[in-house]
A and B are shown apart, each in its own frame.
Chain A
Amino acid sequence: MDKILSGFNKTRAVVVGVVAFAFIAAGTVVLTMAETKKEEKPAAAASAGRPAKPSQADVDAGKQIYFKKCVWCHGPEGAGDGPGADRLWPRPRNFNQGTFKIRHTGSGELPMENDLFLTVTHGLPGSAMPPWNGILTDQQRHQVVSFVMTNLVKERNFQDMENEEFHVIDYGKQVASSEDSIKKGKDVFMNKGKCVECHGAEGRGDGNKTQKDEWGFPIFPADLHKCWNFRGNREDPYNPKNVFREVSTGLNGTPMPSFADVLTPDQRWDVANFVISLCPKRKIDPLTAHPAAQFVVKSHFVTGEIPKSPDDPMWQNFENQYIGLAGQIIHKPRNFVRLVDEVWVKSAFNGKEIAWAFEWDDRIKSVATPEAMAQEASFEETPPAGQPIASREYPMFNDGVAIQFPAKWQNLTPPEKPRFVFGDVKNAVDLWKWESDGTVKAYIGHGAMGGDLKLEPTANQDVKAVFSEYKDGRWRVILTRVMTTGDKDNDVQFEMGKYIPTVFFAWDGNNGDHGLKSSISTWYYTILEPPIPTKAYIYPFVAVILAFGLEGWIIRKANAAKPQRK
């Protein structure tokens, strides 16, 4: 009995203990949560955003992660000079000075811990920094940030209470995007904010092309038509909040200043709404954070002449198709930093002729100089040790765009294609290239294996540039050709309703692009969409009549059966 009683008491003690513990734990959690909530609010105190001193255990764990994942670009001392750095532009961040672009803190201030954490989480789109979300756990990302803050930021100290202030920006009340807000934002962009001076009249980043960053490397103002390349877009390109933040804080280390003292929060929201309105609305592929690629390009059937201006309502009716471009880095000379990273295309045909309208952003119009042409042969690709690609100056070549098809796609068994880089020895390609000095040529390509580019002009030169214009940081070009030519061996022949493999190229002359050094897409398919056949309208009509007839028959049968049931 005694034993049972004592056992009972024990159980009760345990229960009481557990309940008490649960209460204490819950209390602590509630209190901490209340405290964190307080911290999240942008307080007046200039220290509100200061990161807490990380524990040594976190720093050590972060170091191990850093030397596995980050050191390759950011370098063993965090100076942004890892083995990969010299072939990158923008260059990897040099942590030593504590200069960070994407923050919630005032201009020139150190970032909050959460700012660095979010940068690691979402990466910096348009640069080589990938999102580490899903690769490193939350804890690991906090740890690696702890290591960077304590060991790699060397010239400043997050815990320096006297000299380091953290003024966290206030988002105020978000102004929803509206026609009115966008209009006001445009006005701020053009006048009070003077954004236009760097970002250009149309916002394509072509206003000031000769700026340098804090380390002396050239830097371009952002092209506001490519919101998926905004470094601070947090994989959420159409969210004006990110633009508001950057306008408010400025980007440390770059010429982009903070507008917190110049513009009211409402004006900053307006300008953010305006900036987002410049970016074409497309479905974003969550894996790449870029517009989702459609690998079939539709050429639309039109009757009569194909208009020669892209501003013609016919061209305006068709949707621009996004083509993502990579640097040609597989045959020498390689293009590690390609400045044309996308081209937008439209196509139309009228049975006799086919036309392609290209549009792409380029901050600098370039036309080749004789010196550049003379240097062409001695072009060397690899940056020598200690000479970063980011600070390299190139002779001026032509800007250009090209489209390529297998010369005889009819003879290939699908899905076989020639090599996408200018074809191969077995299967030739027909490539039409337009250059900014006005040259338009069709070439027959037999590949570039071993860096030996085999590209010869074809005998028939039927490709014409009916339109070309450079304005406000954008090239627009329309190329046309007859659908069928006499030279069936070297010229691509177009047929309606067939999948015709297609590759796109672009060259940025002031980036030293010429020949193999180019931007390149992968194989796409072009389809010349046939007009909708008449049977597509007749058959449904017949089907509906038949269905109604059948129903009438069923109802009659059912009605006939009813009285029997009664």
Chain B
Amino acid sequence: MWIEGYKPIELLLILTITTFIYIGVNYLLQKIGKRIPTFPQAILIWLGTYFIFKYVLTPPIPSALMYTYMGLVTLVVFLFISSTEKGWTEFKRPILNTVMAVTPIYKGVRTVSFVVLPLLIGYGTYDFNVPKFDEPIELRTVHPAPPASVTVRGTNFTLQTARNPYRVDEKGDYLPVGKEDKYFKQNPFSPDAKGYLLYVREGGSIFFQNCHFCHGDNLNGRGMFAFAFNPIPANFSDPGTIAQLQETFVFWRISKGGPGLPREGFPWASAMPPWEEHLTTDEIWKVNMFEYWHTEFFPRTWD
């Protein structure tokens, strides 16, 4: 399954696949006696990695990190070619041939590269000295440590022990985490919806009157207002958000919103209001449950 928005997997997958394809093609070429010489190969690897980092991976890699990555790639390529005397000589040969201009062709190459190189250096120096103002990179903690307890509309909740009072089956008995999946495909608007399913309907109604504007009709953080925000609102359908969190953590986040985040969570970067201003604790619990029902994730438990 393709996991939308799950970048680390995507990154590793792309790099692994490219590496394997590269090794495979190289092996085949060697088999038919058309091995790519070391020099073009080194250039190819360097440009190939640059291309992937720059144009394939999203979101774009910040330039400071790009320098580090490409520095590492250069180092590894040099380590590889200089690991054997033979490889090193082979690598050096085309460079020396060009510098010595051993044939008319090499002389042509030398003339062209000796004109182009200084111009490139000139452009690089200019580019380096012109002040640039890209968006600064600001890395925040996405799931900061929750407080031990939280007071919402006058009631104190201890996050380790608090339970969602609406997580109940048809008979009103507490529905342990992991047992609710039988409701995932059921119709919350059916006239005989009771317990869990009925509260999902109520929670969904609250969601679609208050939250979908930002978090989206599919809870993927792409609501109709999402394009105005930076970062875009949380994507609950991503396995990295509510699927990784306890129900009470989510209860804390809804109740206290952006202003309730600790400093490392960058409260100023969040447009989320403290929903206790608009919703009762009952409504917050219900909308909380709806989010799990809709995305079909189980909340994490404390044990």
* Cα(A86)–Cα(B205), bound, Å: 11
**Residue pair B135, A295 in contact (C-beta under 8 Å):** yes
| A499 CB contacts on chain B under 8 angstroms | 133, 136
- CB within 8 Å of A: which B186-233 residues: 187-189, 204-205, 207-210, 212-214, 216-218, 220, 222-230, 232
Chain A 66-94: CB-based contact to B (< 8 A → 1; otherwise 0): 01110111001000001110110000000
User: How near does chain A come to B303, taking the closest CB pair, in angstroms?
Assistant: 30
B122 contacts A540, C-beta separation under 8 Å: yes
A522 within 8 A of B: yes
Does A456 interact with chain B (Cβ within 8 Å)?
no
A466 to chain B, nearest CB (A): 26
Q: Does B77 belong to the interface (CB within 8 Å)? A: no
Contact between A522 and B271, CB atoms less than 8 A apart: yes
Provide the bound-state CA to CA distance between A202 and B218, in Å.
Answer: 36
Specify which chain A residues have a CB less than 8 angstroms from the CB of B209 in the assembled complex.
83-84, 86-87
Complex contacts, B133 vs chain A, CB 8 Å: 296, 298, 497, 499, 527, 529
Chain B residues whose CB sits within 8 angstroms of the CB of A541 once the complex forms: 122
Interface-side segment among B124-132, B161-169, B170-178: B124-132
Q: Across the interface, do B131 and A497 meet the contact criterion of CB distance under 8 Å?
A: yes
Given A67-B188, A298-B133, A332-B278; A128-B99 close (CB under 8 Å) = no
Once the chains are docked, how many angstroms separate the CA of A429 from the CA of B122? 44
In the complex, what's the smallest C-beta–C-beta distance from A342 to chain B, in angstroms? 9
- Residue in B closest to A537 when the chains form the complex, CB atoms: B126
A36 to B285, CA, bound (A): 50
Contact yes or no, A293 B230, CB < 8 A? yes
A29-63: which residues lie under 8 A (CB-CB) from chain B?
Answer: none
What 1/0 mask marks residues of chain B from 130 to 162 whose CB sits below 8 Å from any chain A CB? 110111101000000000000000000000000
Min C-beta distance of B73 to chain A, whole Å: 24
B119, closest chain A residue (CB) = A544
Q: Is B57 part of the contact surface with A, judged by Cβ < 8 Å?
A: no
Q: What residues on B are CB-neighbors of A73 within 8 Å?
A: 208, 217
A415 touches B230 (CB 8 A): no
CA distance in complex: A547, B118 (Å): 5
User: Does A329 count as interface, using CB distance less than 8 angstroms?
Assistant: yes
Q: Are B277 and A415 in contact (CB under 8 A)?
A: no
Asked if A83 and B100 make an inter-chain contact with CB atoms under 8 angstroms apart, the answer reads no
Residues of B within 8 A of A132 (CB): 218
Residue in B99, B126, B216, B268 whose CB lies within 8 Å of A539: B126
Check: A257 CB closer than 8 A to any chain B CB.
no
User: B247-303: which residues lie under 8 A (CB-CB) from chain A?
Assistant: 257-259, 263, 266-269, 271-274, 277-278, 294
B271 contacts A330, C-beta separation under 8 Å:
yes
B80 contacts A by Cβ under 8 Å: no
Is there a chain B Cβ closer than 8 Å to A129's Cβ? yes
Q: Judge whether A536 and B118 touch: CB under 8 Å.
A: no
Interchain CB contact under 8 A, A523 and B230: yes
Please tell me if the beta carbons of A451 and B277 are within 8 angstroms of each other in the complex.
yes
CB distance from A326 to the nearest CB of B (A): 3
Evaluate contact between B129 and A419: CB separation under 8 angstroms. no
Q: How many Å lie between the Cα of A64 and that of B187 in the bound state?
A: 7
Contact between A544 and B121 (Cβ–Cβ < 8 Å)? yes
Shortest Cβ gap from B259 to chain A (Å): 6
Q: Is A551 in contact with B129, judged by CB distance below 8 angstroms?
A: no
User: B55: CB under 8 A from chain A?
Assistant: no
B56 to chain A, nearest CB (A): 15
Complex Cα distance, B188 from A67, in Å, reads 7
Q: Does B123 contact A (CB under 8 A)?
A: yes
Chain A residues numbered 439-485 whose CB sits less than 8 Å from any CB in chain B: 449-451
B218 engages A540 (CB within 8 Å): no
Inter-subunit contact A523/B268 (CB<8 Å): yes
Contact of B218 among A69, A424, A522, A558 (CB under 8 A): A69
User: Chain B residues near A295 (CB, 8 Å)?
Assistant: 135, 230
Give, as a whole number of angstroms, the nearest-CB distance from A412 to chain B. 9
B237 partner residues in chain A, CB cutoff 8 A: 135
The answer to whether A329 and B185 touch across the interface, beta carbons within 8 angstroms, is no
Residue of B nearest to A125 (CB): B224
Q: Is there contact, CB below 8 Å, between A558 and B99?
A: yes
Cross-chain contact B100 with A562 (CB below 8 angstroms): yes
- When the two chains form their complex, are residues B232 and A287 in contact, meaning their CB atoms are under 8 A apart? yes
From A134, A419, A551, A554, give the contact of B268 (CB < 8 A). A419
CB neighbours (8 Å) of B294 from chain A are: 68
Q: Is B114 close to A, CB under 8 A?
A: yes
The answer to whether B224 touches A128, judged by C-beta atoms less than 8 angstroms apart, is yes
- Of B214, B222, B271, most A-chain CB atoms within 10 Å: B271
CB of B259 within 8 A of CB of A415, answer no
Residue-wise interface mask of A (2-33) relative to B, using a CB-CB cutoff of 8 A (1 in contact, 0 not): 00000000000000000000000000000000
Residue pair A417, B268 in contact (C-beta under 8 Å): yes
A325–B268 CA distance with the chains assembled, in angstroms: 17
A450 touches B188 (CB 8 A): no
Closest to B190 in A: A67
A288 at the binding interface (Cβ < 8 Å): yes
Contact A416 B268 (CB under 8 A): yes
Q: What residues of chain A lie closer than 8 Å to B220, measured between beta carbons?
A: 135
Query: Which B residues are in CB contact (< 8 Å) with A128?
Result: 212-213, 217, 223-224
- B70 CB-CB contact with A under 8 Å: no
Do B129 and A326 have beta carbons less than 8 Å apart? no
A contact residues around B272 at 8 Å (CB): 330
Q: Is B117 an interface residue (CB 8 A)?
A: yes
Chain B residues within an 8 Å CB radius of A551: 114, 117-118
> Which residues of A, 521-566, contact B by the 8 Å Cβ criterion?
521-523, 525, 527, 529-530, 532-533, 535-537, 539-541, 543-544, 547-548, 551, 554-555, 558, 561-562, 565
* B181: Cβ under 8 A from any A Cβ: no
Residue in A82, A296, A424 whose beta carbon sits within 8 Å of that of B208 in the complex: A82
Query: Which residue on chain A has the smallest CB distance to residue B278?
Result: A332
| Interchain Cβ contacts under 8 Å between A and B, 10 examples | A64-B187, A76-B189, A87-B209, A130-B218, A293-B230, A294-B135, A327-B213, A414-B136, A535-B129, A551-B117
Known A293-B230, A414-B136, A544-B118; 10 more pairs at CB < 8 Å: A72-B207, A72-B208, A126-B224, A288-B227, A327-B225, A449-B259, A499-B136, A536-B126, A536-B129, A543-B125
Interface residues of B (CB under 8 A from A): 4, 99-101, 110, 114, 117-119, 121-126, 129-131, 133-136, 138, 185, 187-189, 204-205, 207-210, 212-214, 216-218, 220, 222-230, 232, 237, 257-259, 263, 266-269, 271-274, 277-278, 294
The 4 closest A-B pairs by CB, nearest first: A84-B208, A83-B205, A330-B273, A326-B225
